[in-house]
A and B are shown apart, each in its own frame.
Chain A
Amino acid sequence: MKLTGRAIFGGNAEGVALVSSTPMSFYGGVNPDTGEIIEKGHELQGQSVKGRVLVFPYGKGSTVGSYVMYRLAKNQVAPCAIVNSKCETIVAVGAIISEIPCVDKVDIGKIKPDVHVKVDGASVEF
């Protein structure tokens, strides 16, 4: 299936989907050194975002989250791409400064966990 949304930060990437049905906070929610999701009680707690196509509705929490995404990229443990239903400021800024391809305005409910996903500009194929 191929979905077309809006490119927040353009680029190509492919990887295995890591899907969260709930919003994500990078600040305090993801370990910037390892990429592990550490938010207590989060459905993906304990999993790593490293190299994955990270799919979630939208970001939440502190604006410092943008800088955490940057640190993940510098440590080479960032997701290879991000797909949102509605991208907000924290994730948009984080994706741009970290140069992580990011697409929003797609129906993320169609993307099943662990499928192989290709992101190219505004399109998401799986």
Chain B
Amino acid sequence: MHLTNEEEHMLAGEEGHATQKAMQILVALGDIYGADQMVKVTSVQVSGVSYKNLGDAGLEFLSELAEDGRARVRTTLNPAGMSLTDWASQGISAGFAEKQLAVIDAYRRLGAEISCTCTPYLAGNEPRFAQHIAWGESSAVAYANSVIGARTNREGGPSALAASLTGRTPLYGLHLEESRRATHSIDVGTLLWYPEDYAAMGYFVGKAVKDGIPLFKGIKLASLEELKSLSAALASSGGVAMFHIEGITPEWGLCSDEMESIPFTTKDLAETEAQLNDKGDPDFVSVGCPHCSLVELATVAKLLDGKRVGREFWVCCSREVKRQSDKAGYSQVIEASGAKFALDTCMVVAPIEEMGYRVVATNSAKACHYLRNNGLRVRFMSLEDCVQEATKRG
């Protein structure tokens, strides 16, 4: 692998221990994946923020790096395991909170913005077309590559952090145009009425194409919210880091010569939605996986107006979108119903299974996937039905 003089200096430890470790990681990954040089990145999104996932091992490593490591490019963070300010009212234990705040403190010393959202592209970290970036958070990776046309591989926590501390990532995979071609053609033969239908379709297709690049054909329109749900679902049931939609996403003309064709029918949609439903009466309702947009908060506010929630209802979003919602007057309506904003976190990374909840209703296929891994039962339903479920009496 060819390194510039500056990169050689970093590797030799002339810019400190953390930068050296970071460059060692990037060089090793570049060698493994056949990169012949580094490329400069304009932004980094770091996954591995919740103490629930990091554990003491991750915390120790971050604290060590924070001794002399500093972000060289704009660096934003994934959700944490709790609200950083209102954790006590969320039912989080003091022991967990202490560790989580230590993780955040290490990231702060490393120069990251304490944004704590899985939708950095709704909270000010907005890459442009063809920019190289290094993002963790699989749903944001799929969104950035596909909808924006920025270029990133699916980074893990340490490799994204290494890119932040050096401002670089090895040039391979989705940073190269030839790797961004569609590998599968998805013939959408059903109408998609609700954003949740996009999530179900993504869940079905992610399973089928694994880490391939699907090209969806036959979709006329897709809103930001629908593309966000689709990105998250594709990246959770499969390892999809990029997709195309004919006539909609910016690079949809990139195809492989031979693409495997997969139909998606009305029956597939119904079966996938059924597969995402367990039995049981929900004791916890949550929307905002990925974090809600302002449009989604407007819908939640409209549906909750004048009602009271009858069970725990979390509305997850970034602090930036919450601020916009405060201005628009949506937040006041949502909170007046007894629903809780879950900022900096979400139902997947907060330890809700330890808080005694058993059955979660959500409009997110991604959340269903990971909550089941955490031992919870799930009910997959539309945003409207989630609100109705939350406001049921008794």
Residues of A that sit less than 8 Å from B by CB? 6, 8-9, 32, 62-64, 66-68, 70-71, 74, 87-90, 92-93, 96-97
* Shortest Cβ gap from A26 to chain B (Å): 10
Q: A71, A92, A93, A96: which contacts B55 (Cβ < 8 A)?
A: A71
Min C-beta distance of B64 to chain A, whole Å: 9
Q: Is B119 an interface residue (CB 8 A)?
A: no
14 CB-based A-B contacts, threshold 8 Å: A64-B58, A64-B157, A66-B157, A66-B158, A67-B55, A67-B58, A68-B55, A70-B61, A71-B60, A88-B32, A89-B32, A92-B32, A93-B29, A97-B158
Given the complex, which residues of A lie within 8 Å of B53, measured CB to CB? 62, 64
Segment touching A, from B20-28, B69-77, B316-324: B20-28
Chain A: which residue is nearest B62 at the CB level? A67
The answer to whether the Cβ of B56 comes within 8 Å of any Cβ in the partner chain is yes
B58 / chain A contacts, CB cutoff of 8 Å:
64, 67, 70
Q: Are B32 and A64 in contact (CB under 8 A)?
A: no
Given contacts A64-B58, A89-B156, 4 further A-B contacts (CB under 8 A): A64-B57, A71-B57, A89-B159, A96-B28
Which of the residues A8, A64, A68, A70 comes within 8 Å of B28, measured between beta carbons? A8
Given contacts A8-B28, A63-B48, contact A32 B21 (CB under 8 A): no
Q: Which residues in window 20-56 of B have CB below 8 A to A?
A: 21, 24-25, 28-29, 31-32, 48, 53-56
User: Is the CB–CB distance between A63 and B157 below 8 Å?
Assistant: yes
Measured CB to CB, the closest approach of chain B to A15, in angstroms, equals 22
A92 and B170 alpha carbons, distance in the complex (Å) = 14
Chain A residues with CB under 8 Å of B158's CB are 63, 66-67, 93, 97
- Which of B21, B29, B157 lies in contact with A92, CB distance below 8 A? B29
B49 shortest CB reach to chain A, Å: 12
Closest to B23 in A: A96
CB proximity of B357 to chain A, nearest CB, Å: 22
A88 CA / B32 CA spacing, docked (Å): 7
- Once the chains are docked, how many angstroms separate the CA of A9 from the CA of B21? 11
Is the Cβ of B57 less than 8 Å from the Cβ of A9?
A: no
Q: How many angstroms between the C-alpha atoms of A96 and B159 in the bound complex? A: 11
Q: How far is the CA of A67 from the CA of B21 in the complex (A)?
A: 14
Q: Binding site of B, secondary structure by majority: helix, strand, loop or mixed?
A: helix
Contacts A92-B28, A97-B21 given; indicate if A68 touches B156 (C-beta within 8 A): no
Contact of A32 among B25, B31, B57, B156 (CB under 8 A): B57
Determine the distance from Cα of A71 to Cα of B64 in the docked complex, in whole angstroms: 12
Interface residues of B (CB under 8 A from A): 21, 24-25, 28-29, 31-32, 48, 53-58, 60-61, 156-159
Task: Please tell me which one of the listed residues A8, A63, A67, A92 contacts residue B61 in the complex, with CB atoms under 8 A apart.
Answer: A67
Q: How far is the CB of A63 from chain B (nearest CB, A)?
A: 3
Known: A89-B29, A92-B32. A64 touches B55 (CB 8 A): yes
On whether the beta carbons of B57 and A67 are closer than 8 Å, the reply is: yes
Q: Which 7 pairs between the two chains have the least Cβ-Cβ distance?
A: A71-B57, A63-B156, A67-B57, A67-B58, A93-B158, A92-B28, A96-B24
Contacts A89-B32, A96-B24 hold; do A64 and B159 have CB atoms under 8 A apart? Answer: no
Of B21, B56, B57, B60, the contact of A96 (CB 8 Å cutoff) = B21
Residues of B within 8 A of A90 (CB): 156
Q: Is A6 in contact with B57, judged by CB distance below 8 angstroms? A: no
Is A97's CB under 8 angstroms from B54's CB? Answer: no
Q: CA of A94 to CA of B55 in the docked complex: distance in angstroms?
A: 15
CB distance from B32 to the nearest CB of A (A): 6
* Complex: A67 Cα to B161 Cα, angstroms: 13
Instruction: Check A96 against B31 for contact (C-beta < 8 Å).
Output: no
With A6-B31, A67-B61 as contacts: A93 and B159 at CB distance below 8 Å: yes
B60/A70 in contact, CB under 8 A: yes
Q: Across the two chains, which residue of chain A brings its CB closest to B156? A: A63
Complex CA gap A8/B57 in Å reads: 21
Question: Within 8 Å CB of B21, what residues of A?
Answer: 96-97
A108 to B56 CA separation, bound complex (whole angstroms): 32
Most central of B28, B31, B56, B60 by chain A CB within 10 Å: B28
A88 CB to closest chain B CB, in angstroms? 7
Which partner residue on chain B sits nearest A62 by CB separation?
B53
Contacting residues, chain B, for A74 (C-beta < 8 A): 57, 60
The interface residues of chain A lying within 8 Å CB-to-CB of B159 are: 89, 93
| Complex Cα–Cα for A90 and B48 (A) | 13
* CB nearest to A102 among chain B residues: B28
CA distance A8 to B56 in the complex (A): 25
What distance in Å separates the Cβ of A29 from its nearest Cβ neighbour in chain B? 14
